[in-house]
Amino acid sequence: MRVPLNHWYPVLEPREVRGKPVTVERLGVKLVFWRSSAGVLHAQRDRCPHLGASLGTGRVVNNTLVCPFHGFAFGPDGQCVKVPALGREGRIPKGLCAETFV
């Protein structure tokens, strides 16, 4: 039996997500949950769009989820806001986004 993926399914209790990102796999999809400094809960696919590293092993810095591999930082909307190798003046491609669930 195929399980429809376009529905909401409970995966964890909100109290389980505190300071560090939490990784959960449900229905064959790896997800990462994290909180902004305001305590807002965010859910993204546990995969950096750059090279596929686990975002769940990263950390939360300045309301972004930072990939542990190259330091790419993704905002709550999934948009990449920092690519360390590009420096401060570098342009981040608009299509560089982590898949986000709202």
Confidence of residue 89 (pLDDT cuts 50, 70, 90): confident
User: Once rounded to an integer, what is the mean pLDDT over residues 38-47?
Assistant: 95
Q: Tell me the average pLDDT across 70-97.
A: 93
| Tokens (6 digits) for 69 | 């591999």
Half-sphere exposure of 34 (CA within 13 A, CB side): 27
C-alpha pair distances (Å), 16 with each of 19, 24, 52 = 10, 11, 25
